[in-house]
Structure 1
Amino acid sequence: MEHLGRHVIIELWGCSDVINDAALVENAMRNAVDAANATLLNLFVHEFSPQGVTGVAVLSESHLSIHTWPEHGYVAADVFTCGSTTKPRAAAEVLRKSFQAETVDIRELERGVMPPQTQPQAARELVNVR
């Protein structure tokens, strides 16, 4: 097993005012889920007063979340998927276009990667929180 999932962190800067419209954010999220070839189970979007929108899409493959700061033209998004049929990076392009972002920073993490068993126990930093 190489990894169980991929987690794409998306930073969008210089976004248009659409990031303050819950209906437009919801539409962008639905399009991003489709582009990622994921299966939407549930979607919740909340519009804050006086500004800002947060959305969470629960996927069969994991989740997509969005948080907007219209006063900064900024959107923080992440797409976490498991399985071999999803394309979480494709969601980033949909969000870039939907929010008309001027600058995009994308980082990808492989999730569910077992630490090497050859390392001494003291060298590994595994924390169990109770």
Structure 2
Amino acid sequence: MAKSLGRHLIAELYECDEEILNSVEEIEYYMKEAAIKSGATIVTSTFHRFLPHGISGAVIVSESHLAIHTWPEYKYASVDIYTCGESVNPWIAFEYLKEAFKSKRQDVSEYKRGIFEAIGISENSLHKVEVK
């Protein structure tokens, strides 16, 4: 398996609870909880409710970000979970969010970002970043 700087999950959540998907307070809460449960360190967050419906938002973490766009009228949410380093597990965030939104069906793909070989670095040359 190729070593990389980051892991990026692109998730499609179908047949979700439309009331949750239209509540900016609930979406922000669940996205922050997903970040914490995955082991990430929250830096800031911003969320916006559109009229008549829908939420967009992001949680910025020291290890990258979690972003969401919801379409309550279709019971659908698109979620990006991008994490760098080895201390955070994006799959924990995904599992938490699919349960929180009561998604009955999902499609998710993982992409490696910053593949070592492609950017010309070796594991021995990596700098260690301390998260505070």
How many angstroms does 1:115 deviate by? Answer: 2.8
Question: Match for residue 28 of structure 1?
Answer: 30
Q: 1:63-74 residue pairs with structure 2 within 5 A? A: 63-74=65-76
Per-residue CA deviations over 1:8-38 (Å, capped at 9, x if unaligned) read 1111000002100000001110111012100
2-side partners of 1:76 and 1:28: how far apart?
A: 14
Q: From the CA coordinates, give the structure whose radius of gyration is larger.
A: 1
How many angstroms does 1:116 deviate by? Answer: 8.7
Identity of aligned residues (%): 38
Give the unaligned 5+ runs of structure 2.
121-132
Match of 2:45, as an amino acid?
L
2-side partners of 1:104 and 1:91: how far apart?
A: 14
Question: Match for residue 125 of structure 2?
Answer: none
What root-mean-square deviation, in Å, do the aligned CA atoms of Structure 1 and Structure 2 show?
1.5
SS of the aligned residue for 2:4 comes to coil
2-side partners of 1:25 and 1:87: how far apart?
A: 20
1-side partners of 2:42 and 2:113: how far apart?
A: 20
Matched residues, number? 117
Give the unaligned 5+ runs of structure 1.
118-130
What is the TM-score when the length of structure 1 is the normalising length? 0.86
Match of 1:36, as an amino acid?
S
Runs of 4+ in 1 over 3 A off after TM superposition: none
